Every structure is written in C-alpha cells, then in structure tokens.
A and B are shown apart, each in its own frame.
Chain A
Amino acid sequence: MKFVDEFRDTEKARTLQKEIHAIVGRLARGRSRPLQVMEFCGGHTHTIFRYGIEQMLPDGIEMVHGPGCPVCVLPMGRVDDCVALAERPEVIFTTFGDAMRVPGSKKSLLQAKADGADVRMVYSPLDALALARAHPEREVIFFGLGFETTMPSTALTVLQARREGIGNFSLFCNHITTVPTIKAVLDSPDMAIDGFLAPGHVSMVIGEAPFQFIARDYRKPLVITGFEPLDILQSLWMLLRQFDEGHCEVENQYRRIVPPRGNAQALAAIDEVFEIREFFEWRGLGSIDHSGVKMREAFADYDAERKFTVRNPKIADPKSCQCGEVVKGVIKPWDCKIFGNPCTPENPMGALMVSSEGACAAYFNHGYGRRSA
C-alpha cells in the first residue's frame, strides 16, 4: 500500500535500530540516568505500541508518553456537560467515536445513549452539519474535540453553517492547543525530559516556528515526526544525533506532509472563528493558561456554550490518581499505585487509562499490567 508500506520497511528499521544503539551507547558513558524523550502526541504513542518500538530501543533511552491525547485529558466535568446537552430531547449530540467512552461523574456518552439520549458518532464535523440540514426540527450539537489538527475542519464547518444560514447547528468547543501545554510540562519543577518528538499533524497546521522557543529558550532539541514506525525511528535517530553532536534545534522529519510555515488557510479559518481562553482545565495536569480556544463573539449563534446553559462543574480525579506525574515523566505507568488494580481500561480512574492512546491504557493493553516483573 502506497505511503504506508515504505514506511514500515523492516530492513530500514533494523539499520536505524543499529544506529540508535550505537549513539546511545556512546552517550550513556557520560550519563547517570537514561535519556528521556517525550512523544507528545497520542497517535505517536499508538504507533510505538503497535509496533513494539520501545522493545527495539536500548536501555539508555526511555520514552515518556505525553498528554497529547485530547480524549484522555478531557475533564470529567466537560463530559457531564456533554451528557446534559445530549439528554435534552431536542438535541442530536454528535461526537467522534473515542470520546463516547470517557466516563463522566455519573455516566459516559455511550451510557447516555443506551439510556435514550440521541448521541451519534460522526467522522467529521461536516457529517454533523449534514444532520442539521436533514433535521431542521432538531438542534444538532457537534462536540469539537482535538488539538490544532482538528480545529481547521471545525472552523470551516462553522463558517459553512453561517454561509448557508443553518440555525440549528452549534459547536460545543473543547479544542485545546499543544504548544502552551508543552511549555507547561517544561516549566514543571520535577520534569525530566531531554528532547521531544513533536506532533506531526499539529505541525501540518501550525508549521515549525511555534516550536522554536523549546530549542532556543529551554535548550531541548525537538523533531517534528510522522506516524509510521520508520518515522518514529528516524526521528529518534535525528534527536540522538543532536545530543551526540551538541546541537539544539527544531528539525522536521515529516517533510512529506508538514510545510515549514504550516497551512495559511487553516490558520486563517482558526483565527476567524476562535479565540484563546484564559485558561482551560486538563485532566491530570490541572489548569493551563491559554491552552484552549472558544468561539468569538461574532459566532455566538453557533456556540453551544452560549446557546445552552453549560454548568462546567469541576470534578476532581480520585486522590489515588497519579496521571500528572506519569505525564511529566516523573514515574512510569506501572509505578502508579492503582495501575491495573483498580484502574483498568474497563474501569478507568484517570485520564491516561481512558482512551486506547493514553499511556497507561497502551501499556496495560500490551501486557505490561500483567507482567510479573
């Protein structure tokens, strides 16, 4: 299959693996602890586990799985808001599939659907708009979730709705941004990350420039990475070469998709429809400044938060939850006191177990939870 198989070539993988082992071997001599590299994006976490990449790496380098899973970091209070909206009889509540399983304080959207709420899975916001056109007597709400990657399609859909004068469509906006969040991780006093694999599809929208501050001000190298296993291996190799040669810069490994300046039209659409929230709550990390967007006043008619009363309750995670520490690289998922018992993918107690891309869920599903060691 084109654009897929070439990037899963096992011969090239083995070559990269050898190089990685060689460089880490050299670097390990001057270090007292392993190198820690954070892959921010949930899509990268998924690839790493699907192909068993961590097992291919030498002991001198460890992956820290970052909070880049928008489903995992959705606060329970926001899920409660979704359920409340969905339970309104006039509402058709549309959402991406993954978000349906996130538990709220009483139930998830999937459970609300089983209890009779009209919750429908869509693959894109345009599907939601089509539903609004087809059902003028109902109120269609689209649950806008995801990072900068999905913001453009949401924004363009809102613009389309306004062009067509569709009055029964609104957006419940929970889009969050990656860049301030990486900064928040870097600013944490106990964080221990040496370098980053930056999210490839986010970069496709925003380009390379917003990441420069990480290399320039925090002196951490960063490689913008694709989603196939060879992309990950090549990016790790590029990062390691920077450590080896004493560089610190932003490199773009995903050049086949990511233009250095990003996508101007996508950015323009985002700018037209959205503005920054002062702070936004991230499950497991707490409140992060300027890390979320909301709809501008001009689009109030399409803003579910203005059209309907949204309570926005603050629901704390159970005290035993240590998601915050796992996400910052302070502890490993299996070090968490409740990992595997009682916190499991079927009974998730915190952000990182909720979605299959969460670090804890990924480790658990791939057998780490049941390891005797």
Chain B
Amino acid sequence: MSRENTITLAHGAGGKAMRDLIDQVFVEGFGSPELAALEDQARFDLAALAANGDRLAMTTDSYVVDPLFFPGGDIGKLAVTGTVNDLAVGGARPLYLSCGMIIEEGLPVATLERVVASMKATADDAGVRIVTGDTKVVHKGAADKLFINTAGVGVIPAGIDIQAGNARPGDVVIVNGFIGDHGAAIVDARGELALETTIETDCQPLHGLVATMLDTCPGLRCLRDATRGGLASVLNEFAAASGVGIRIEHNAIPVRDEVRGICEILGLDPLHLANEGKLVAVVPAADADTVLAAMQAHPAGRHSTAIGQVETGQPGRVVLATGFGGDRVLDMLVGEQLPRIC
C-alpha cells in the first residue's frame, strides 16, 4: 500500500485510494473497535444503554475554523470537545461520536494525521469513542482546507431535567471561568495584530464538571455552553425561553487582561466572543454556594464565579449593571462582530 503526501480527489472516490486512507489514517488513528469492524454503521446494545438512563441524547456540530491549528488547540480538539459539551449540558453522559470529514484537495496527509491524533487524544480524555465516519474530498477552493462534522450520542440519567425555560426569579447565574478566550485566541492567531502575549483557547470537555454540578445540585435549572455568540447569546436564550429578566454585574464577569486588551484595541466585546470550555448555569439561590464550591474544586471550574441573577423584570431582557453607575441592555449580536473604525 503506497502512502501519498497530499489528499487528492481519488481519496474521496470510493476506490482503493480511499480505502487506504481510511485504514491508514482513520481506523488506525481513531483506534476504536467499531471502526475496525469496517461496517457501514456502528451498532450498540440497547439494553446496555438503557441501564444508564432513560433518554438518549443526540447532537451534531460542524467545524470550519480557520486557522486549523491555534494556541491551545486545533480543529480536531474543537470537534470532539464541542460535541461532547453539547451532550454534557443536557445532563447526558457522552458515549459515541461520528466524524464526517470534507477535505479540500491538496491538504497534506500529515495535517490530516495531526488532526486525527488530536481528536483521539481528546476523545480518550473525555472517555468517548469515535465509532463511525465519512470522508469526502472536494476540488481546490470548494472547501477551506478541512471541514469536520461530528455527531454524538449520550444517555441522560433519570431525574435530570435541564431546560432553558427553567429559570425562576431569584436563581443565581454562574460561569465556570474566564470569558472570551477562544474568540480572542482565533483573532490573535489570524495574525493580523502582532501582540506581545499569546492568547490560548479555553477548549476543554465539560462533562466531568457537569457531573459534579449535578451531584451537588440535582435541581439545576439551566445549562448551556457559551460557544458562538458568546455569553450574551446564552443569557438572552435563557431569558427568552424562561420568560424572565436577568441582571448581570459587569465587574463580576471574569475576563483575562490579554483578552480585554485585544478587545479594547479592536473594538470587540468579550461578551460576544466564542468560548469552547465555558458553560453558563442557572441554579436555585439556596444551592449557589455549594455548587460554586464544588465547581471551584474541579479542574475545569477553578475560576467559577456567580455573575448575576434572574429577576422579575421585563421578560426576555438581559440587563448589565455597568459597574460604573448606570445600566445597559445586553442584546444578542446582530450580524458579525465588526470592529469599529475610529
């Protein structure tokens, strides 16, 4: 079997070249028994699944980040973490992932192998397996280097009911750490501004942290990860779904100095930047202290902090106390965040 250096259209054609690619890169790289079986589908024993919970959770996400590699992570790590986290914030234990790849012809095979290795390492860390996949190759220019889609399934234990519509006045809003790292890291990695410090992504799996939180507080109301659209989007989603108002203290939101710095220079708002290892939780006031303590004791939640509370104000409105004396309404992003000129 010959090894080629770059991906060509032949690798997506379904013939021998594609079979070799799957064997050498994916089956070898992902190392799961299901993939090694080389069937068209992965199969799971239903009774075994049902032993762990009473609902199946399923999610999917596509990853098109540019550049592919950035400080602290890469597209592969994102692809696994993002899907794991989408399951985790529903209270599910993530189990199995699929991986669909759309590859632009000309991508070096070494790059693909690097991404696959990262996905395997991340999956191992998170205790999940990549069990089925698909490969397509498109003409130069029809995709930007590499696009990945992952779907994931997990099982939700009985008695867990987390919904965006559960928030009640008096509940406390908590985040598990610094906001805006991932979005700022990507802007920094695009190299348009030569900054002194490097900003790293916060990409990390959250299901362990979520399990700890649910142990301490089975009545946890709402939980979401703050990916595209940032913290502001999640808060607005909770407020709208629950028909409540939310009031946040601007000075309570943890933001790293470097992230603040790049945002000040470019006219970006950290509250609208993407995060890949941060969740926003709404918990009953009585449980807030214990949940926070449990989170801070967990490696994924060292800088957890309460940032505000749910109130009876205008339903669906999120108000930010600026810390300077006045308030302002925190809205969802309209269009793309475009830096201001002068």
- The chain A residues found within 8 Å of chain B, CB to CB, are 1, 4, 8, 10, 13-14, 17, 42-43, 46, 49-56, 70-71, 96-101, 110, 121, 123, 127, 145-147, 149-150, 201, 229, 345-346, 355-357, 365-367, 370
- The chain B residues found within 8 Å of chain A, CB to CB, are 192-193, 257, 260-261, 264, 266, 314, 317, 319, 322-329, 331, 334-336, 338-342
Q: With A123-B193, A145-B341 given, can you name 13 additional A-B contacts, CB distance below 8 Å?
A: A10-B323, A10-B325, A13-B324, A13-B325, A17-B325, A51-B324, A51-B326, A51-B328, A55-B326, A100-B338, A355-B340, A367-B328, A370-B317
Q: How far is the CA of A50 from the CA of B264 in the complex (A)?
A: 13
Q: Which residue of A lies closest to B319 (CB)?
A: A367
Selected contact of A101 from candidates B193, B331, B335, CB within 8 Å? B335
In this complex, the member of A70, A127, A367 whose beta carbon has the largest number of chain B beta carbons within 10 angstroms is A367
Q: How far is the CA of A40 from the CA of B260 in the complex (A)?
A: 26
A345 to chain B, nearest CB (A): 5
Q: How far is the CA of A345 from the CA of B328 in the complex (A)?
A: 17
Selected contact of A98 from candidates B317, B319, B322, B340, CB within 8 Å? B340
B314 to chain A, nearest CB (A): 7
Per DSSP, chain A at the interface is: helix
Per DSSP, chain B at the interface is: loop
Contact A43 B264 (CB under 8 A): no
Q: Which 8 A-B pairs have the closest CB atoms?
A: A52-B326, A367-B329, A97-B338, A55-B326, A96-B341, A51-B324, A56-B325, A366-B328
Q: Which residue of B lies closest to A55 (CB)?
A: B326
Contact B341 A150 (CB under 8 A): yes
Contact A346 B339 (CB under 8 A): no
Which chain B residues border A229 with CB–CB below 8 Å?
Answer: 324
Q: How far is the CA of A370 from the CA of B338 in the complex (A)?
A: 24
Which chain A residues border B341 with CB–CB below 8 Å?
Answer: 70-71, 96-99, 145-146, 150
Selected contact of A10 from candidates B192, B260, B264, B324, CB within 8 Å? B324
Contact of A97 with B325 at beta-carbon distance under 8 Å, contacts A1-B257, A1-B264, A365-B331 already known? no
In this complex, the member of B317, B325, B331 whose beta carbon has the largest number of chain A beta carbons within 10 angstroms is B325
A229 to chain B, nearest CB (A): 5
Q: How far is the CA of A55 from the CA of B325 in the complex (A)?
A: 8
B111 to chain A, nearest CB (A): 24
